[in-house]
Structure 1
């Protein structure tokens, strides 16, 4: 067999090898996408937005937006609590609160990045956090923290001097009664919510959003 007869076979082998490489890369990309989708579905189920059979598209948008609104509100509350803890001299507790405040944001970024979306630049957060008022608020917060540090350094005690420690052994019966009441209330509340949810699923009672929909027709969200 001549050398010219080997050329088509070599070309064919090269084409097959290239095709195998492309298919392998495609399979890896597909597996990676499926893995991200599974992780995302776990987060969606945890947040309660994986399936909303009792809400139409408009109501689903309202639910998702309501959950999103809770994020900056929780962030503001966490920063306020951190300031109170710093003023009380509980620095480590304040640091833990601030770290805990950032964990939900990491989870949200992880979910969005898995779907090819930049949560910061593609949402309104970039607009909000590049405004002058946001810079002023950030500087004011740092100034307050610096003032609390200076106050404790100069006086030898934090601004808020009350103690956060509770001697529960002095209130044994009261604490036992409170804990027992909380446990009973939690169990009863859980059973009542479960019973109501099953009745909604079985169609025995109307969905909570249907009454509002009858009174006011849903409008397009702006």
Structure 2
């Protein structure tokens, strides 16, 4: 609802003269007797002169595209296989939003090339454990750690960053596990570990 302010303006004139007020308003003076002065008062609607203000808003919007990457695959040569062997590999990782890191083993262990189930008393697969260290920002730098078995990694083992993002170099440490009294079948062995980063949008 608007506001109206009434002003009472006093205009004084002498004979033969006129005066006006610049508020898109004019006052006319009536002629009087010589030498005398006349006065007239008028009630005038005026423009709003209070301190009320008005405003508008400008809304600024934009977006940033999710950017997640992982790099640094390698081949780890373990030599003659046995229990307790260790290997270390590093990888670069960067993600500008929280994410899940999925670790998958193609065989669930380091498997014989043609007889992964073994033969006779000899086994055809060597299990291992995979330790993971991951640099994260929350926004303070922190290290995220996890430990997986090769057997569980067939279906995919997940390391979640929680609410953190990542930028830096991660590390994986592998250690083989051969049950006591078990011997392995002669031949070539291999496994492929796939690491996938999935941003949580």
TM-score (norm 1): 0.19
Name the structure with the higher strand share. Answer: 2
Q: Comparing both structures, which one devotes a greater share of its residues to helix? A: 1
The structure that has the greater radius of gyration is 2
Length-normalised TM-score, structure 2: 0.20
